[in-house]
Amino acid sequence: MSETWILLGASSAMARALARALARNGARLVLAGRDLDDLGRTAADAEMRGAARAVAVRFDARDPASFDAVLAAAGDGVVNAACFTGTMPPQDRIDADPALIDGTIADSLTGPARMLHLIAARIEAEGAGTIVGVGSVAGDRGRLGNYVYGAAKGGFAVYLSGLRNRLTRAGGHVVTVKPGFVDTAMTWGLPGMFLVAAPEAVARDILRAVARRRSVIYTPGFWRLIMLIIRAIPEPVFKKMKI
């Protein structure tokens, strides 16, 4: 019996790369997101590459009424999920219009958490299943350039940590993924990018982490060391830095 995976935010280039890799393993895929045309194309591509089944389903993190249908599309039995949902409005736009904070948190933290809570209940009922939550190195320390997005991702990492604690007891598992810079729509044209990873490399790291039941991974792995150093900078120094 092939695995069933729900991909939330499936129009992300990282999610698309994961869908391709899962398709090669013959998985059944639920591609959830807002852009149904894009998801339909990924579903067709996945079935061509070997997916047992791939369907596109509407999922809007700001609309909890869309959540039940996502889980229903996965059918009965054990489900796995990977959540790529998130938005990163420029910090100066948020500073000029603080109302943008609500949407940023809804896209990256509260919406995903409510959706994953539904999936967590299924994992508890089945006694199996894995959730992959995509956070960010930005969640490891608040910094000038993106601290609202960072707050959402930091909150998401704390949520995933608690969820892992809960689901481990039920036979499930939660992997927290913290990418550094990845070549996707989110970072396209942004200044100051370095050591930019390919979405396919992130997908490979995710699958390896799932197979090894890792708890928290940085991808690429060298970001663990970079963030260790950044977290170690004393606050009196850090508050004057512009990184």
Ligand X SMILES: NC(=O)c1ccc[n+]([C@@H]2O[C@H](COP(=O)([O-])OP(=O)(O)OC[C@H]3O[C@@H](n4cnc5c(N)ncnc54)[C@H](OP(=O)(O)O)[C@@H]3O)[C@@H](O)[C@H]2O)c1
Binding-site member from 6, 56, 57, 59 for ligand X (CB under 6 A): 59
180 neighbors 219 (Cβ within 8 angstroms): yes
Stretch that binds ligand X, among 43-51, 71-79, 83-91, 206-214 (CB under 6 A): 83-91
Looking at the Cβ atoms of 9 and 78, the one nearer to ligand X is 9
For residue 137, CA distances in Å to 34, 45, 105, 155 come to 25, 31, 16, 12
Residues numbered 88-127 forming contacts with ligand X, rule: CB under 6 A: 88, 107, 111
Helices (H) and strands (E) in the chain, counts: 10, 7
Q: Is 183 exposed, middle or buried (0-12, 13-18, 19+ CB in 10 A)?
A: middle
Using rule CB under 6 A, residue 184 touches ligand X: yes
Cis bond before residue 236 (omega within 30° of 0): no
Looking at the Cβ atoms of 54 and 78, the one nearer to ligand X is 54
Using rule CB under 6 A, residue 67 touches ligand X: no
DSSP letters, 54-68, are EEEEE--TT-GGGHH
Using rule CB under 6 A, residue 84 touches ligand X: yes
Using rule CB under 6 A, residue 200 touches ligand X: no
Binding-site member from 187, 204, 215, 216 for ligand X (CB under 6 A): 187
Using rule CB under 6 A, residue 33 touches ligand X: yes
Using rule CB under 6 A, residue 34 touches ligand X: yes
Residues forming beta bridges with residue 132, ordered by sequence position = 82, 175
Of 15, 58, 10, nearest to 34 by C-alpha is 58
Q: Which positions touch ligand X (CB under 6 A)? A: 9, 11-14, 33-35, 59-62, 84-88, 107, 111, 134, 136, 179, 181-182, 184-187
